[in-house]
Amino acid sequence: MSPVLKLIAQRIALGILLLFAVSVLIFAGTQILPGDVAQAILGQSATPESLANLREELGLNDPAWLRYMHWLGGILQGDLGTAMSSGQDIATSIGSRLWNTLFLAFWAAIVSIPLAIILGLLAVRYRNGWVDKLISGLALASTSFPEFFIGYVLVYFFAVKWQIFPGISTVYDGMPFGERMMAIALPATALTLVVLAHMMRMTRAAILNVMQSAYVETAELKGLSAFNVIRRHAFPNAIAPIINVVMLNLAYLIVGVVVVEVIFVYPGMGQYLVDHVTKRDVPVVQAVGLIFAAVYISLNIVADIGAIVANPRLRHPK
Amino acid sequence: MAKAPSRRRSTGEGGTLLDIRNLKIEATVYPPGEAPRKVTIVDNVSLTLQRGKVLGLIGESGAGKSTIGLSSMGFGRGGVRITGGEVILNGRDIMKGSIADFRKLRGNEVCYVAQSAAAAFNPAQRLMDQVVEAALEHGNAKRADAEKRAVALFKKLGLPDPENIGKRFPHQVSGGQLQRVMTAMALCSEPDLIVFDEPTTALDVTTQIDVLAAIKDAIRDTGVAALYITHDLAVVAQVADEIMVLRHGKLVEWGDTRQIIQEPRQEYTNALVSVHHIAHQEKKPGKDPVLSVKNVTAAYGGGVIKVLKNVSVDIHAGQTLAVVGESGSGKSTLARAITGLLPPEQGTISFAGKPLPGRLADRNKDELRQLQMIYQMADVAMNPRQTVGTIIGRPLEFYFGLRGKQRDVRVAELLDKIEMGKGFIDRYPAELSGGQKQRVCIARALAAKPKLIICDEVTSALDPLVANGILKLLLELQAEESVAYLFITHDLATVKSIADSIAVMYRGEVVRYGPKSDVLKPPFDAYTELLLSSVPEMEIGWLEKAIKTRRMESAGN
Amino acid sequence: MLDIRRIPIPALIGLLLTVLFVLAAVFAPWIAPYGNGEIVGDVWAPMSAAHLLGTDNLGRDLLSRMIYGARITLFIAVLATALSFSLGSILGFSAAVFGGWFDTLLSRLVDLLMSIPTLIMALVVLSVLPTNLVTLILVMGILDSTRVYRLSRAVAVDINVMDYVEAAKLRGEGSAWIIFREILPNALSPLISELGLRFIYAVLFLSTLSFLGLGVQPPDADWGGMVKENKDGIVFGIPAALIPAAAIAALAISVNLVADWILNRTTDLKGGRGNG
């Protein structure tokens, strides 16, 4: 097997191992309650019978590791369990919500990734000039803004004052594409702004690093045009760091999406999670938490694989 | 700009190729926490270079030699600007041209060979693509012709497998070979001028000589002119027709090579020429060695990678043992084994007749005190957040319990010994020059009143004159304090100046060991012969002689 | 020693605003024109002389709520930062200096914790824990200490292999000298700037949790909670929710500016002497 394939296989295996460890952590995270889950759910006024019933229902009489095995076994077969608050099957409730969240995140990524790379390039091109300073200033500001500040400012102006886009993003099955895009215009913009600054700052640093390397100077001293210097020498070496930056920042999307969905009352995974944390609906929280973690870990694996594939030393060993 | 320059080189005939007049180069520096300020890097330097000739630019770091070399391509590195004077190449002042005009001449009329080829090649592209790139970009040749030319150049430069080496990636080729590939890359677009910027400095001495010879032959055979930049006068004397000595961005002396190295007119040039001449009388070994290393074997990675194999050496009180070898020879590992950082797997190390525990943690304070160390990079050998007073004072406190006034008096004494004076007592390392930093490190080692100091490449990061000062200081201190040195170096010239005995190391083994006069006396073993014959001497024609001897030997074998 | 004219303007602005916020937090009961929970007027009354920032969703004075909110926000953020910082840096330094199984165990655990986005992990844990200030500070502090751990370990590992640390070890110095005299002074400037970043992160994180209804519980409110209380007004064109949101942003930017400046000052290796 070629060393690259071997490394990739190792990375994926490590990711799967990590995912199992994370499932333990998430499960353990919901077991640290001082006292009794059933008591916490039903409150102080619960009768002993109802408490006993709920314990039985939740399987609380079993040891924790057995409950974990049950839970994990179910997940591996696609059974995420039942929500305590509504009694509905979690997998069914998640279906369309997961799709909604991915749809929103996808469009935010489609806009923010090229924009971040272009702005990062511009900042490098006009380094220490006013363009660079402006971009860095905006980046500083937007890393300091809470997501809901960006979100509500957008709502206040675009939905309330100027009434261009809806301030509440209602979507439903079978909604026409155009209407759906209108509905997610503001949340997608908010999400874009949330990740843009980080992504751009890091892209700038990555490109700058490559542009200051000796081989780019060599290329310039060959009299290549600026375009060829970038296309043949800077860009191929900047791919790996940029992939890394992009993937790292898509992780911000995951956190951002939770808040943005709440702001715009968008029926996605984030809102579903927050709702059920408030209701203390542990099975839902475990399932959704695990899905978010799985997405996050997968993004990291993709980033690492990108870096492995883009590394000439690994592709062409001695 | 005048009409596009003719791309045919006027072979053999003379005429001025490059004429730099009253060049002034400035840069803006941004010290942290301070206002940016302008510094002059090159001040009023003029030079002319005839077609097909080689001009050596020599000077210490900060002399502006690289900056001048790059100015012939209209290039300023990192914020450096050419602010005055003319650069006339092929009859036109290139400073009057536009960016597009610069691009036309870079990689076409003038090519560049960098110090570190390993960093200067794009890691993501095959060598051949990079070698022919400039020729294709400027339309000098079709791809097939350019590749044919590249292969011919690879052959001329003595690269192995010239037909196929171009298919490799930079990381698949050794440093010395990459440097030759880079020279081939510069020659491939048939320029009028090549700027060589310390092309052999990063190489091991035995590799340097081959690369140097290859470069010299290539220059001669192609008739290209060259600016050869280096800090090593002995190297440049082998390749240059004329030499220009620079210091602090100003011209010191300019003349033909013979005149510069045989009859230097300026004091500074004279100092550079005679840099390796330190009078030192070899001392005969005493009876009982202060440090005795017996059959030491050491390894990294739990015994997997053997880095020292059965090494035995003795060091006598007040004398210097020089350990020489190239990178990877295990000479620094020997120091780590002696200091206890890498406990030996087998063998013993005894100090003043008593065995020394292998592990650092098992040694007592007095054993630690007797054995001090000076590092190659004085920069990182001192805590940047401690003042000179603290750095030198700490061993006094730690080993002798000196405090307050007593300590300060002793620190001042030590500063005097290293010829710096007590004004430096509250300075931080960042406020010292390279030579001063190394002196402070010497004072720190002396403060412990050791019997032996391990000097690990202590002069190799310094400019020759500064290094010379440090060596002289070390010898004086040895006479005063009768301290012994274990002097680790790759530089044979240094060894010749200061050693009493020599150990030559190769791949973890001592291949030759004894008093200096014996070690440097023929007959030699093969490796020592190679090493000795590779050290450039300040003598015109040395390179040809050395290469010839080497060819005869390999033919004889 | 510290000349106010030598402080760059952005840092000065940041410093001024930060001090202002801190003063408001400390002297809240004396500065605030009205009580924290006092209903003094109509719901969402516009800005006026009596109510400089208007009133909130229940008719409480918004300015007074903001001042009291500063108190809660800063209190929790400072404690959470202190916890994350001391926990993270002590463990990080120890891991770097002692190495071995201690380092391996801690580092793997931190890797594991960091492989889940912080907010998600916090939500998971908060779904079962009682909602009170202690829980909030502990959860925020412990989850965030992973980042401090990584940074301080990395910094200490870098310094630990420097020749000057080796020189100290060869001299025979003990661990205390090596940690406190050789490593710490050189780790300080990256750590101080990290302290600023961690504080900003704590403020933003707390605000997010409160905004989601999982942080500070009514009737008390930090700034994030006030955004939640007043967010329904936005669709009617009432900007009350934007005011606490903007305050969070202003605090974060100010601290950022100050941290940048401190970082620049402390990286100077000449003991603050300007001349070369």
The residue among C5, C270, C273 with the most chain B CBs within 10 A of its CB, best to mutate, is C270
> What token pair was written down for B16?
């001025």
- For every residue of B452-492, DSSP letters joined together read EEEEESTTTTS-HHHHHHHHHHHHHHHHHH--EEEEEES-H
CB atoms within 10 A of CB A214: 16
- C55 and C113 Cβ atoms separated by less than 8 Å: no
- Judge whether B466 lies within some domain: yes
Last residue of a domain, one of B273, B301, B316: B273
Domain spans of chain A, in order of start = 104-278
| Cα–Cα distance measured from residue A251 to residue C12, given in angstroms and rounded to the nearest whole number | 34
What span, in angstroms and rounded, lies between the C-alpha atoms of C121 and A255? 11
Please indicate, yes or no, if residue B33 is contained in any of the structural domains.
no
Parallel, antiparallel, or unpaired: how do β-strands B37-50 and B16-29 relate?
antiparallel
pLDDT of amino acid B15: 84
Q: What is the DSSP letter of A157?
A: I
Q: B367 and B467, same structural domain? A: yes
Tokens of B230: 């280096």
Contact flag C112-A167 (C-beta cutoff 8 Å) = no
Per-residue pLDDT of chain A (318 residues; tens, 9 = 90+): 577 888 899 999 999 999 999 999 998 888 766 556 666 666 667 778 887 887 777 667 777 788 888 888 888 888 888 887 777 888 888 888 999 999 999 999 999 999 998 888 888 878 778 888 888 888 888 888 899 999 999 999 998 888 888 888 888 888 888 888 888 999 999 999 988 888 888 888 888 888 888 999 999 999 998 888 888 998 888 888 888 888 878 777 888 899 999 999 999 999 999 999 988 888 899 999 999 999 888 888 888 888 888 888 778 876
Model pLDDT, residue C4: 65
Contacts of A149 in chain C (CB under 8 A): 227, 242, 245-246, 248-249
Q: Which residues does residue A9 pair with via DSSP β-bridges, in sequence order?
A: none
B233 and B308 housed in the same domain = no
Asked whether residue B363 is domain-assigned, the answer is yes
Distance, in Å, from the CA atom of B227 to the CA atom of B66, rounded to the nearest integer, reads: 10
User: Are B265 and B353 members of one domain?
Assistant: no
Please name the amino acid found at residue A137: G
- In B, which residues are within 8 Å of C276 by CB distance? 31, 431
Q: Residue B450 corresponds to which tokens in the numbers above?
A: 């050791």
Same domain, B267 and B293: no
Say if residue B158 is in the same domain as residue B261.
yes
Instruction: Give the tens place of pLDDT for each residue, A67-81.
Output: 888 888 888 888 888
C126 CA to chain A: closest CA distance, Å? 7
What residues of B are in contact with residue C266 (Cβ under 8 Å)? none
Upper half-sphere CA count for residue A99 (Cβ side, 13 Å): 10
Residue B515, strand partner residues: B501
CB proximity B374 to C under 8 Å = no
- Tell the burial category of A200 from Cβ atoms under 10 Å away from its Cβ (0-12, 13-18, 19+): buried
Q: Domain check: are B323 and B470 in the same one?
A: yes
Say whether pLDDT at C3 is over 70. Answer: no
Q: Which residue of B has its CA nearest to A215?
A: B120
Provide the pairing of β-strand B16-29 with B80-89.
antiparallel
The per-residue pLDDT for range C66-107, each reduced to its tens digit, is 999 999 999 999 999 999 999 999 899 889 888 889 999 999
Last residue of a domain, one of B273, B305, B338: B273
In a domain? residue B29 = no
B545, B547, B553, B555 alpha-carbon torsion, rounded to 10°: -120
CB contact under 8 A, A144 and C118: no
The chain-wide mean pLDDT, for chain C, equals 88
Residue B57 DSSP SS3: strand
Give the model confidence (pLDDT) of B445-468 as tens digits: 999 999 999 999 998 888 888 888
Based on the domain organization, do B218 and B358 belong to the same domain? no
Mean per-residue pLDDT over chain A, rounded: 85
pLDDT band at residue C115 using 50, 70 and 90 as cut-offs: confident
B49: β partners: B18
**Residue B386 distance to chain C (closest CA, Å):** 9
> Which residues in chain C are closer than 8 Å to A281, comparing Cβ atoms?
127
Starting from the edge strand earliest in sequence, which strands make up the sheet with B242-247, in order?
B110-113, B193-197, B225-230, B54-58, B242-247, B250-256
pLDDT surpasses 60 at C210:
yes
Is there a single domain that holds both residue B472 and residue B509? yes
Q: Tokens 């292969």 correspond to what residue?
A: B151
- Kindly list the residues of chain A whose beta carbon comes within 8 Å of any beta carbon in chain B: 213-215, 217-225, 228, 232-233, 236-237, 312-313, 316, 318
C-alpha pair distances (Å), B406 with each of B356, B412, C87: 32, 10, 41
What pLDDT does residue B383 have?
A: 93
Task: Name the packing angle between helices B388-400 and B434-447 (round to 10°).
Answer: 10
Name residues whose C-beta falls within 8 Å of residue A147's C-beta, 6 or more positions apart in sequence.
Answer: A190, A194, A256, A259, A260, A263, C208
Q: What angle do CA A115, A120, A126 make, to 5 degrees?
A: 125
Q: Where are the alpha helices (DSSP H) in chain C?
A: 9-26, 28-31, 62-98, 100-114, 118-126, 133-160, 163-171, 175-177, 184-211, 223-230, 242-266
What does the pLDDT look like over C227-269, one tens digit per residue?
Answer: 999 998 888 888 889 999 999 999 999 998 888 888 777 776 7
pTM exceeding the 0.80 threshold for the entire prediction: yes
Instruction: Please indicate, yes or no, whether residues B304 and B439 belong to a single structural domain of this protein.
Output: yes
**Pair of tokens at residue C268:** 């100077």
Lateral strand order in the sheet of B16-29? B37-50, B16-29, B80-89, B92-93
Same domain? B302 vs B167: no
Residues B253 and B300 in one domain: no
Whether residue B77 lies inside any domain: the answer is: no
Closest Cβ–Cβ partner in A18, A146, A167 for C245: A146
In total, how many domains does chain B have? 2
Within-domain flag for B509: yes
Nearest CA in chain A to B187: A222
Distance CA B391, CA C139 (A): 44
Q: Of B201, B57, B106, which is closest to residue B536 (Cα–Cα)?
A: B201
Residues B212 and B139 in one domain: yes
Contact indicator for B200, B116 with CB cutoff of 8 Å: no
Beta carbons of C74 and C137 less than 8 angstroms apart:
no
Closest CA to B20 of B75, B84, B78, B114: B84
% of chain C with per-residue pLDDT over 90: 46
Q: How large is the ipTM? A: 0.86
For CA atoms C256, C257, C259, C263, the dihedral sign is positive
pLDDT of residue B555: 65
**Residue from the list A33, A159, A254 with its beta carbon closest to the beta carbon of C129:** A33
Instruction: Count Cβ–Cβ pairs < 8 Å, chain A vs chain C.
Output: 152
Q: Which residues of B touch C173 (CB under 8 A)?
A: 398
| Residues of chain C above pLDDT 70, percent | 95
CATH code (residue B133): 3.40.50.300
Rounded distance between C-alpha atoms, residue B71 and residue B68, angstroms: 5
Q: Is residue B523 reached through a cis peptide bond, with omega within 30 degrees of 0 on the bond before it?
A: yes
Q: Which of the residues in chain B have pLDDT under 50?
A: 1-12
Chain C contact for B39, CB < 8 A? no
Enclosing domain of residue B163:
51-64+99-273
B381 touches chain C (CB under 8 A): yes
> Nearest chain A Cα to C201, which residue?
A144
CATH T-level topology, domain A104-278: MetI-like fold (1.10.3720)
In angstroms, the separation between the Cα of residue A177 and the nearest Cα of chain B is 42
The answer, for B499 touching chain A at a CB cutoff of 8 Å, is: no
